[in-house]
A = this chain, B = another copy of it.
Amino acid sequence: MQTFPPSDPDFERRVRASFARQAMMSLLQATVARVAPGQVDNALPVRPELGQQHGFVHAGVVTAIVDTACGYAALTLMPAGTGVLTVEFKVNLLAPAGGSALNARARVLKPGRSIFVCAGDVYALDDRGETLVATMLATMMVVRDRPALVD
């Protein structure tokens, strides 16, 4: 995995503060598990309230945590005073998302002046270990000159 230098030394505090402002992450009970330059992991306890019709975690929930991880992975490399917006993502669902917890691990594939490309994987944790349940390929945008959207 390629590594990239952060341009704002305060990147971790900035990611954690922005995450804390996300009401949806609270509703899901998701947390930030790790912040490093170009990499962010989120964790989520699996609960029945998050289920789809067969009892597995809903694809929208899986997407929520890995999109958030991808966006913040990009933010770790963005300059101070900017914000991050998701332009688009694609998610492949590889296995039913169950077990006791989900871990979303995101990384920057390519930083840019205005566009970042990120990838993220989601693993379901149970007694036997981890299973890859989803993978995301996402495009993030650096937001400048819009004070309401700074992270």
Residue numbers in B under 8 Å from A54 (CB-CB): 21, 83, 148-149
Cα–Cα, bound, A64→B146 (Å): 28
Measured CB to CB, the nearest residue on chain B to A146 is B54
Measured CB to CB, the nearest residue on chain B to A83 is B54
A67 at the interface (CB under 8 A from B): yes
A86 at the interface (CB under 8 A from B): yes
Q: How far is the CB of A96 from chain B (nearest CB, A)?
A: 9
A8-29 vs B: 1/0 string, CB under 8 Å?
0000000000110111101100
**Copies of this chain, tallied across the complex:** 4
Is the beta-carbon distance between A141 and B117 smaller than 8 angstroms? Answer: no
Is the beta-carbon distance between B139 and A92 smaller than 8 angstroms? Answer: yes
Cα–Cα, bound, A137→B120 (Å): 12
Is the beta-carbon distance between B90 and A18 smaller than 8 angstroms? Answer: no
A30-50 vs B: 1/0 string, CB under 8 Å?
000000000000000000111
Q: How far is the CB of A116 from chain B (nearest CB, A)?
A: 10
- The answer, among B64, B85, B93, B119, for a CB contact under 8 Å with A93, is B85
A4 at the interface (CB under 8 A from B): no
Is the beta-carbon distance between B24 and A51 smaller than 8 angstroms? Answer: yes
CB-CB nearest 9 A-B residue pairs: A60-B64, A24-B58, A90-B90, A88-B92, A23-B51, A21-B53, A94-B110, A137-B137, A63-B63
